[in-house]
Structures are given as C-alpha cells and as structure tokens.
Chains A and B, each alone.
Chain A
C-alpha cells in the first residue's frame, strides 16, 4: 500500500467519522435534507475560488458559512418553515455554480476526485476533524436537550439559538472537508446515510453515535478501496457502499 493511498484512506475515514457523528444530530433534528442541500452551496464557492486561484476548499467553506448563517437566521426569525426557502436557495446556488464553474473542472467539483488529495488536505482534514469532535462533544448535552424539548432546554438557561448556530457551522465545516473527496453533490449523503443506518440499530444515544461514526468510517474506507481496485469514481463508490450498509442493517433489524 503506498503512502498516497494511506493518506486518502485517512482523509476518507476522518470525513466519514465526522459526518456520521454530526449526522446523528441532524437526523434527530429532522434536518437531513438541509444537510444534503447545503452541500450544493459549495459549488459556486469552489468556482469562484478556482477563478481567483485560491484553494477551492476555502471557497467552499466561505460559501457554506454564509449559507449556514442564512439558514440559521431563517429558522430563528421566520415564521415560515424554512425548508421550502432552503430548497429554492440551494437549487439557485447549484445552478449558478454550474454556470460559473469552468467545464474541465466541473465533473471534479460535482463528484470529487480523491487522486487530487494532497498532504495539505490531509493536515486540514485532521485539524478540522479534531475541531468538530471537541466542539460537538462539548455541546452534545445542550444540543440533544434542545432536540428533545426546546422549552425544557430554555427553562434551564440553554441558549438554544446559539447552540443551533454552532452546530450548523460545524455542518458547514464537515461538508467543506468532504467536498474535495466526494464532490458537492454527494457530500451531504455522508451526513445522512451512516446516521440513518445507525438509528435503525441503536438502543441509546451512545450506541447511535458510535454506530454512526463506525458506519461513516467503514463506508469511506470500503468505498475508496472499491473505487481504487475497480477503477470507478470514489464519490459514488463511497455513497453506494454506505447505502449497501444501510440496506444490510435494515434487513438485519427486520
């Protein structure tokens, strides 16, 4: 096994672990599709970054942070259920992204390309994963209490609105980390699928989160290896692997 493959597997495993962990909350919050749609926002960010000659990951992150604050604001201040607005906003950004991304780079931006992952990406991913795990763990009880009962959380002095914003910003970070490897269209899938698989099997929150992390890591590693040896694109290989694990888990449960 060469060092490059080890690096790719490490990045993949970390993206899988952090997506699974954060996804566990997203599934409970019934916001799964927001996570998916959010990943589309990365596309115009990547295109603009490419045009300016800066790291696409940075462009993706900035676009995602702006969109995240937008979603949070709508959720806090609008009486309208934000899902419809989110749908419109994200398809718009996807369309704009498609128009402004240079054609040779489009496929890579949409579906990712693990061969382009370098040492710098590895460092950023490791750092990002550590940040995500520490902050999420520190906020975990408040986040979960807010999901179980917002009133109960607020009556205990939890600033639910702030906790939600921090959580959404972490989602933006995990999507940015995954974009180079899975592409803007498929990154959201890794936030949803391992967590849904885990929810089917878990009997407690602790199990739920551990399973989600485990399925995230397993999907990434198996998917990357499959892509390498069969010679297919890594993004779809990882997503289809995680869906296969979901189906096995579902059959196992029934």
Chain B
C-alpha cells in the first residue's frame, strides 16, 4: 500500500448465499480525503461499509493503514423508544471522561447552552429513544469522535433527519473535513451533496462504475450504468 493511503481495497467480492452483492471492487483512499459512495438501492453500499469494518466475510483484500482508529456512524439505532439508556450512559460506553464528552458534544453542534437541552431537559440526561432524528445523528457522530478516529464512516448521515437537520449534519461534516488527518467516507443518495462535499466519489452498482472527483467522473454514462435510463438523480431522494 502506498504511504499516504489510508485504505486500499483490491478485488473485493461479497456473496450472500451464492448471490453476489459486490464484485471485483478496487479503490484507494488517501489520508485526509473525503469520499462519497453513491449508487441505487441494493447497490451494495452498506455491504461495502460492513466489509470495511470487518463485520462480514469477504473475498479479496481490504487493507487499512496501520494503527488506524475507525469511527463508525450507523444510519440509525434500532432501539425501542422507552429504552432506559441516556445519552450520557451511551457515550460513556466509550469514554468515561466528562470533559471529553462535553468537548465532543460542542464539536457536533451542541454549542450554545440552549442546544444542550431537549424539551427542557439536558441532552445528556435524555433517553436515546426520545431524541429527534437530527439529535440522534449528532450523538452518534459524537460517539464516533470519542475514539479520536482518523477515519469516519457515515452510513447515510441524513436518513431519518428532516430537511433543516439535514443541512446541519452536512455543515457538521464540512466542519469535520477541516480537521487535520481525518478521512471521511460517507454513503449518500444525493448528487448535489456529493458534488458539494466530496473530493472523490465511488459509484457503485454491484461493481465499481466510476471513481474520482465527482464533477469529472459522474456523467450521463455513469448515471445510466447506475440507475438505468431516464433517471433524474436530482429527484432521487429517499427518506
């Protein structure tokens, strides 16, 4: 693997019961890069993440730079609304230091005193299940940041977040991009977002369709390969 690469994937293949989900996917990511992964439903985007995290078996090679900390931000948590787990207890699964938790909450946008409250209750004392989609997403990002990661993996950061919340999440990602030595990899459905925030894009539809700077590599041909004929990606918006 080249020295300034954070990740190198070679000939990645994932099968579930003889059904091929990902086939011969190869790409590399440089340190401090921001990579977006796009593709239609069932293209294998989340499966790629799960393979990168070592959660599922795969063929081929996935090589992370040595001593790398990966922070994973899942799409959502499948928890009951009445799960008696507070934000504070959740964050303390990873970090006991209260000052660090406070810092990381500031970083994800609970900046003002009023931001620290959810329905008049301090966010830290609020149950995970009572948070709004946007708040939960920010708490999940905070959780990922607590491990001092050099890589952040976002699985559809704005799924389940309303439009205003969506802007906040992306501006947060944008802010995180400025951090030193933080590589960001995110899955998205929205081409506008990809053009705006990602330095590189990986287009996926079981196989790699394109890879490179979004404005260069995404054209009519690659879109057709991914989504079929006559699809206007700008309207492809799932929630």
CA A249 to CA B147, docked complex, whole Å? 39
Number of interface residues of B (CB under 8 A): 26
Q: Mark A196-234, 1 if CB is under 8 A from B, else 0.
A: 000100111111100000000000000000000000000
Give min CB distance, A29 to chain B, whole Å: 11
The answer to whether B84 and A203 have CB atoms under 8 Å apart is yes
Q: Which residues of A contact B89 (CB under 8 A)?
A: 204-206
Most buried by B among A152, A154, A208: A152
State A154–B86 Cα separation when bound (angstroms). Answer: 21
Q: How large is the interface on A (under 10, 10 to 19, 20 to 34, 35 or more residues)?
A: 10 to 19
**Is B93 among interface residues, defined by CB-CB distance under 8 A?**
yes
Stretch at the interface among A84-92, A143-151, A184-192: A143-151
Cβ of A2 < 8 Å from any Cβ of B? no
Which residues on A sit within 8 Å (CB–CB) of B182?
Answer: none
Q: Is the interface of A mostly helix, strand, loop or mixed?
A: helix
Q: Are A207 and B84 in contact (CB under 8 A)?
A: yes
The residues of A that contact B125 with a CB separation of less than 8 Å are 203-204
Q: Is B55 an interface residue (CB 8 A)?
A: yes
Instruction: State whether the Cβ of A156 lies closer than 8 Å to any Cβ in chain B.
Output: yes
Asked if B163 is at the interface (CB within 8 A of a chain A CB), the reply is no
| B151 → chain A closest CB, angstroms | 11
Q: Measured between C-beta atoms, what is the minimum distance from A24 to chain B in Å?
A: 9
A144 to B94, CA, bound (A): 12
**Interface residue B77 (Cβ < 8 Å from any Cβ of A):** yes
Is A28 an interface position by the 8 A CB rule? yes
Does the CB pair A199–B82 fall under 8 Å? yes
- Min CB gap B144→A, angstroms: 9
Query: A116 an interface residue at 8 Å Cβ cutoff?
Result: no
Contact between A144 and B85, CB atoms less than 8 A apart: yes
Q: Which residues of B contact A155 (CB under 8 A)?
A: 53-55, 70, 72
- Give the residue among A199, A203, A206 with the most B Cβ atoms within 10 A: A203
Identify the closest chain A residue to B153 (Cβ): A155
Q: Which residues of B54-68 have CB atoms within 8 Å of chain A's CB atoms?
A: 54-55
CB neighbours (8 Å) of A154 from chain B are 53-55
List, in ascending order, chain A residues with CB within 8 A of B85's CB. 144, 148, 204-205
Q: Is the CB of B86 within 8 A of A203?
A: yes
Would B127 and A203 count as touching, CB distance under 8 A?
yes
Which A residues from 124 to 155 make CB contacts under 8 A with B?
Answer: 141, 144-145, 148-149, 151-152, 154-155
A9–B125 alpha-carbon span in the complex (Å): 36
A148 lies within 8 A of B77 (CB) = yes
Task: Collect the chain B residues with CB atoms within 8 Å of residue A199's CB.
Answer: 82, 84
Inter-chain CA distance A157–B35, complex, in Å, is 24
A149-B74, A149-B77 known; A204-B84 Cβ under 8 A: yes
Provide a sorted-by-A list of 5 A–B residue pairs whose CB atoms are within 8 angstroms.
A148-B83, A154-B54, A155-B55, A155-B70, A204-B85
A interface residues, Cβ below 8 angstroms from B: 28, 141, 144-145, 148-149, 151-152, 154-156, 199, 202-208
Which residues on B are within 8 Å of A, measured CB to CB? 50, 53-55, 70, 72, 74, 77-79, 82-86, 88-90, 92-94, 125, 127-128, 143, 147
The list of the 9 closest CB pairs from A to B, nearest first, reads A202-B84, A155-B72, A208-B84, A155-B53, A204-B86, A145-B93, A205-B89, A141-B93, A205-B85
Given contacts A156-B147, A203-B127, A205-B86, 18 further A-B contacts (CB under 8 A): A148-B77, A148-B79, A148-B85, A149-B77, A151-B50, A151-B55, A151-B72, A152-B77, A152-B143, A155-B53, A155-B55, A155-B70, A155-B72, A156-B94, A199-B84, A204-B86, A206-B89, A208-B84
